[in-house]
Structure formats: C-alpha cells, structure tokens
C-alpha cells in the first residue's frame, strides 16, 4: 500500500478529533468533571446533552456551552436510576436531535457528608450500598441500554464509562486517616467505590464484544484523584503514592475523553485507559 500523501495526512490530522454534528450525552453533567467532559466535546463541534438531577446547573452549563461554542447544547433533569426518566430523556433527545452518537456514563453518587465512621465496611448501611450501586452501575446499565441501542440502529456510536484508578488498584486506606480518632472511627474510601468502578470495567468489556459487530465502541477511563480543595494532610500523603507527584487538574481528563469519543480511537474497544500519574504501576 502506498504511503499517505502529505495532503491526506494533514486532512486526517484535522478530522480525527472533529465531532461536528455529533450528539453527545454526559450523565452527571452538572458535577465537577461532567461540565469539563461536555466542554471538550462542544469545543470539538458536538451538540451536548447534560443529564443530571440538578437541573439548574445542567441547564446553565448547556447555555454557557451554546454561547461559547455555537453548538446545540441542552440540559435535562434526569434521574438515571429511573427507567422512565431515561426513556423520557431518550424521546426528548431523539425528538430534538434525531440521533445519539456518544454516551459518557459519568454520574456517581456522592451523598451529603455522613458520619465518617459510617463509611467503614462494618457500618455501611444497606441503603448506602444500594444507592451507590444504583447510580454507578444501574444508571450506567439503563443509560447504555437506552442510548446504546439507538447507536446500534444507526450502526455507529461510542460509549465511555468513567471509572477510577480504583478499578485497577485497591484503596490505600492509610491516606484517609485523621489524627485523634481510634482505628474503628477512622474514615475510609467506601467499598461501593471499588465495586462500582470495577463493575464498570466489566460492563465495558461485555458491551465491547456484545456490540462489536454493530459499530458501537465501548471503552472506559480510570482517572486518579483530581484536585478539588482536599485537605493538605491528605494531599501530602496521596502525592507520595503518585510517580508524577500530584493529583490531576480537572482539565487533564479532557484529552482522554476527546480521544475515546472521536475517530482518533476508531480501532479501540473494550479498553480501560488509566490516567493516574502512574499511581497504579507501583
Ligand atoms: N473527582 C475525582 O477526583 C474523580 C477521580 C476519579 C474518578 N472520578 C469519577 O468521575 C465521575 C465524575 O466525578 P465528579 O468528581 O464530577 O463527581 P460529582 O459528584 O461532582 O458529580 C457527579 C454528578 O452526578 C450527578 N448524579 C448523581 N446521581 C444521579 C442520578 N441518579 N441521575 C443523574 N445524575 C446523578 C450528581 O448530581 C452530580 O452532579 C464520577 O464517576 C467519579 O467517580 C472522579
């Protein structure tokens, strides 16, 4: 096969990350990272739908993206754990855009702070367990079923599941310790985080082969921690576990999102792309 011409390579370099005209859905679109995912997709030309329980913020973020990038962005109030809500969102999105090209399963349950020791395995309530699994896994299942099925009908689409570094390593509970508390009062990373994030990799692999012949690619990203005003004591402990010596800035996840949502990753499916400053290689 002949080498590419310069012109075709230049055209490819421009087109690989171009999402013009594509319709992208971001669940948990009103949190810390959802708006960042939405922003890079809109900047690449996509029309973005932000789904969240928090309507005010999803709608205001969508308005900001419309203004900033000139693409058609909307915010919808949707509880992704509710099949009826998901179906209503599907109908509204298809009515408006006629298609769905990209789904980012990003939402996670971060309830208001509860007693720190209540997160410990021995005390974690069934209610808390079920709430975390419902958002993280059931929500991703319902969203993938509704929107992935539309992609199958189109013969093309992309799903990205947002896991975390705890999809590939265990939590190091020592980094969460607080002075002055006994061992059984110490805060921990709750078990549901490990279970949900590892489960999302299972969903990723399952759908990657299930829809491989339907033109739908399914990948995951596993970011490490992102700076968000964490206590200095915690930061100094976790930074020592990371070869790059720091957490991520929230804009450092955007490159992976754009890569996996675009044709630049057209030969990738079933992959878990780890962005953790090297933490999981130690
Ligand atoms: N922030 C980090 O350091 C970090 C690191 C690694 C992975 N992650 C993952 O990235 C994703 C986004 O994280 P974040 O920091 O932006 O979290 P966040 O808590 O700021 O945002 C999550 C969003 O999901 C929404 N949500 C919760 N339940 C919902 C439901 N039933 N229906 C619809 N929306 C719902 C919330 O309202 C919130 O806006 C999560 O999956 C998280 O686990 C975050």
- Render the burial of 113-151: b for 16+ CB within 10 Å, e for the rest: eeeeeebbeeebeeebeeebbbbbbbbbbbbbebbbebb
Q: Confidence band (pLDDT; 50, 70, 90) for 1?
A: low
Instruction: For residue 12, report the distance from its CA to the centre of ligand 1, in Å.
Output: 34
Q: What is the pLDDT of residue 116?
A: 75
The stretch 62-66 carries a mean pLDDT of: 98
Instruction: For residue 29, report the distance from its CA to the centre of ligand 1, in Å.
Output: 8
Find out whether the beta carbon of 29 lies less than 6 Å from any atom of ligand 1. no
The stretch 4-13 carries a mean pLDDT of: 95
Beta-bridge mates of residue 218: 159
Find out whether the beta carbon of 11 lies less than 6 Å from any atom of ligand 1. no
**Top CATH class, 11-275:** alpha beta
Q: What is the pLDDT of residue 54?
A: 85
Q: Confidence band (pLDDT; 50, 70, 90) for 55?
A: confident
Residue 23 confidence (pLDDT) above 80: yes
Residue identifier of the C-alpha nearest atom 21 of ligand 1: 31
d(CA 36, CA 33): 5
Give tens-digit pLDDT for 164-214. 999 999 999 999 999 999 999 999 999 999 999 999 999 999 999 999 999
Residue identifier of the C-alpha nearest atom 4 of ligand 1: 225
The stretch 6-31 carries a mean pLDDT of: 97
Instruction: For residue 164, report the distance from its CA to the centre of ligand 1, in Å.
Output: 11
Instruction: For residue 30, report the distance from its CA to the centre of ligand 1, in Å.
Output: 8
Find out whether the beta carbon of 164 lies less than 6 Å from any atom of ligand 1. yes
Give tens-digit pLDDT for 88-141. 999 999 999 999 999 999 999 987 656 778 899 999 999 999 999 999 999 999
Q: What is the pLDDT of residue 112?
A: 66
pTM over 0.85: yes
């Amino acid at each position: 096969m002949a080498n590419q011409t310069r012109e075709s390579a230049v055209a490819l370099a421009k087109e690989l990350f171009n999402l013009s005209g594509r319709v992208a859905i971001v669940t948990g679109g009103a949190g810390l990272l959802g708006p960042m995912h939405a922003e890079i997709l809109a900047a690449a030309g996509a029309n973005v739908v932000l789904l969240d329980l928090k309507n005010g913020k999803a709608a205001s973020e969508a308005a900001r993206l419309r203004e900033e990038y000139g693409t058609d962005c909307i915010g919808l109030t949707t509880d992704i754990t509710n099949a009826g809500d998901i179906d209503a969102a599907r109908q509204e999105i298809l009515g408006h855009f006629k298609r769905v090209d990209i789904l980012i399963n990003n939402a996670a349950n971060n309830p208001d702070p509860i007693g720190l020791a209540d997160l410990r395995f021995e005390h974690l309530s069934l209610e808390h367990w079920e709430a975390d699994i419902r958002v993280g896994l059931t929500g991703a299942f319902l969203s993938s079923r509704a929107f992935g099925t539309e992609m199958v009908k189109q013969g093309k689409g992309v799903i990205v599941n947002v896991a975390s570094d705890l999809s590939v390593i265990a939590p190091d509970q020592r980094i969460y310790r607080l002075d002055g508390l006994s061992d059984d009062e110490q805060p921990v990373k709750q078990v549901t985080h490990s279970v949900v994030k590892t489960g999302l990799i299972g969903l990723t692999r399952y759908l990657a082969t299930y829809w491989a012949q339907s033109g739908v690619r399914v990948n995951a990203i596993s970011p490490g921690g992102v700076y968000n005003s964490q206590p200095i004591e915690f930061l100094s402990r976790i930074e020592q576990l990371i070869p790059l010596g720091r957490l991520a800035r929230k804009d450092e996840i955007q490159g992976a999102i754009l890569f996996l949502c675009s044709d630049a990753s057209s030969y990738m499916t079933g992959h878990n792309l780890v962005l953790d400053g090297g933490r999981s290689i130690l």
